[in-house]
Chain A
Amino acid sequence: MRKMINSHPQRLSRGLLGLLPLLLLLLVYLVASDARLAINPLDKLLPGFNDMSSAIYRMALEPDARTGEYLLWTDTLASLTRLLSGIFISALLGLLLGLFCGGLPPVGALLSPLVMLAALIPPLAILPILFICFGLGELSKVMLIVIGVTPFIARDLQQHVQNIPREQVIKAQTLNAHSAQILWRVILPQLLPRLLESVRLSLGSAWLFLIAAEAIASTEGLGYRIFLMRRYLAMDVILPYVAWITLLAFMLEAVLRIYGRRQWPWYYVK
């Protein structure tokens, strides 16, 4: 008998194997949901798939009775706008901090302790301060993402700059390059693919901060809807929303990964 340690599944069977636990989970849910619905057909905790699909239909394709908006799309638009603007600002700030702190030792000496300290503060702990500083509007939600994500990106990029072989910088100097030229022509191009990676890795926490911010004060958004529906246990809306967030997060990450591989194929060469 072949040892398990040596058997590598083919591409197709690997895909099927990966699907198996998911199907199993789905089955467990179905059985549990059926069991609860058999006792109480109006049970809200584990709604059946027909309940969820009619909830999706209602949220996505029917205008809301009170506001006349298509809720799923308004929520998605609001959340994505907040998430992407937060991520964009963080990426920009993180890149600047990483580049200058990593590339210019005096700047690094000045700023990196601050960045390191900021990275240690759990942003959710200073929420009350945040909304006294930035109000309860859109700004505070974007700021929560920025404060949460920027230090992570900045530290990651700074580390990456310091890992660039010293020889490259010295070589550039022998070719008579000055500091700005070295930053612009030698370090920055090597930093950009890493920035993308770093952004990709921080998307998870960005979503977390977004949902947390929307739970506090808002009038629309994916997190807002989940927290609102939680008030009367409408799991038929909450579960599809969670699935939708997962799908959005997955697609966002896929787009970044594909873009990175196209743009900087050399970075991914092993």
Chain B
Amino acid sequence: MVTVVKRLLLLATLCFTTLFSPIAPAADKPVFKICWSIYAGWMPWDYAQQTGIVKKWADKYGIDIRFVQVNDYIESVNQYTAGGFDGCTMTNMDALTIPAVGGVDSTALIVGDYSNGNDGILLKGQGDIRSLKGRPINLVELSVSHYLLARALAKNGMSEKDIKVVNTADADLVAAFGTADVNAIVTWNPLLAEAEKQPGSHEIFSSAQIPGEILDLLVVNSATLKKHPELGKALTGAWYETLNTMHGDNPTAVAARTMMGKSSGTDLAGFAERRAATSLLSNPKQPLVFVQSKALLTTMQSVAEFSFKHGLLGNGAPGADAVGIGAPAGVWGNTANIKLRFSDEFVKLAAAGQL
């Protein structure tokens, strides 16, 4: 009997140690894992990693950076929040409502672009925002699409009470728009472009009417960044080198854009179309001005207020300002609980050519 127990214990220990022991590091270089998902504004990361730009910069600072593509966008943000990754690509709203609210102090290392028409509201048949009154609208609830709709309604003196939101998975939105009982949707590219091909449909509002409010970021864990500033330097360096490479008409740039288009399921022309609706902040001086502006805090305030109204700030949130948002221009919200930081530290270095 005793031997049986002993054997069982041994077996259990074996199972546990193999399951939970960390994999032995191959080299003594620190390894960082960054997740990303497919979106026009994030395709440069794919290119940078595939062509070795990331590796070049990581080597320069003596670290190892691994980019992991996650198919489901929201899953990638959740994985980052759970601690599976050191950084992740996400929008400003999701950065606030998922990791920051979940107590993961995060830094928006790079403000890559803002949506300038890449998100939109489509309607079948005649009408404008006002004619949405009383109608059901299909969208991914609690996403930036929902935020866009709320902004569109507010700009036209309406509120969400005037319409009916039907939660629809992003993968099914285009097909849903083809059915008879769906006549208004809110979505983003490439779905937006696909849905717009539906005869009789037209865009009644787009993010071009609220430029600079939907931001696409590369978010990194603040504690990791503080401990390893070289991660911030390497990522920032790789990002602006990639943007520089893909800019212009020279063959390398065209090849780079073709590759990014292909990886995101379209071609060179399609990618150009999407990029036109995405204001890529390609010269480090542009995001520097953007991140240092007071307007950024105003935008984040409006995002935080929307999130609070929809319960995205969680159970015990006393108000929209429960989570503090830090930026070079100041802090919005609870200064004792700053969990989302916009940093100009590394972009400044990039702009000054000191990376």
Contact = CB atoms under 8 A, between A and B. Distances in A.
Contacts of A136: 138, 166, 168, 176, 179, 181-182
B311 interface: yes
B307 to A, nearest CB: 9
B102 A217 contact: no
B175 A40 contact: no
Contacts of A54: 315-316
A132 B177 CA distance: 10
A3 B110 CA distance: 67
A219 B167 contact: yes
Given A136-B166, A215-B169, A218-B167, A232 B181 contact: no
B142 A231 contact: yes
A231 B74 contact: yes
B312 A232 contact: yes
A45 interface: yes
Given A232-B101, A232-B312, A217 B168 contact: yes
A137 B181 contact: yes
Interface in A62-98: 65-66
B215 interface: no
A14 interface: no
Given A42-B103, A44-B102, A135 B181 contact: yes
Interface stretch (A145-153, A196-204, A222-230): A222-230
B84 to A, nearest CB: 10
Contact of B103 (A1, A43, A128, A219): A43
A217 B177 CA distance: 12
Nearest to B140: A231
A47 to B, nearest CB: 9
Nearest to A233: B78
Interface in B70-111: 74, 78, 81-82, 94, 97-98, 101-104
Contact of A135 (B172, B180, B312): B180
A215 B176 CA distance: 13
Interface residues of B, number: 39
A41 interface: yes
A217 B104 CA distance: 31
B203 interface: no
B50 interface: no
Interface in A211-256: 215-219, 224, 227-228, 230-234, 236
B160 interface: yes
Nearest to B160: A66
Interface string B148-173: 00000000000010001111110010
A185 to B, nearest CB: 46
B82 A234 contact: no
A224 B103 contact: no
Nearest to A231: B142
B143 interface: yes
A228 B172 CA distance: 15
Contact of B102 (A43, A58, A224, A227): A43
B221 to A, nearest CB: 11
A128 B175 contact: yes
A137 B182 CA distance: 10
Nearest to B75: A230
Nearest to B337: A42
Nearest to B146: A231
Contact of A231 (B102, B103, B143, B166): B143
Given A136-B181, A232-B312, A233-B81, A219 B166 contact: yes
A82 B190 CA distance: 33
Contact of A45 (B81, B178, B310): B81
**Residue with the highest number of chain A CB atoms closer than 10 Å, among B102, B165, B178:** B102
A131 B167 contact: no
A43 B102 CA distance: 5
Contacts of B94: 232
B142 A218 contact: no
A55 B311 CA distance: 12
24 contacts: A42-B101, A42-B103, A44-B98, A45-B102, A51-B315, A54-B315, A66-B160, A128-B175, A132-B175, A132-B179, A136-B138, A136-B176, A136-B179, A136-B182, A217-B168, A218-B166, A219-B165, A227-B169, A228-B142, A231-B141, A232-B97, A233-B98, A234-B314, A236-B315
* 8 tightest A-B CB contacts, nearest first: A42-B103, A44-B102, A217-B168, A40-B103, A135-B181, A45-B82, A231-B142, A128-B175
Given A42-B103, A66-B310, A131-B175, 4 more contacts: A136-B179, A227-B167, A228-B142, A232-B98
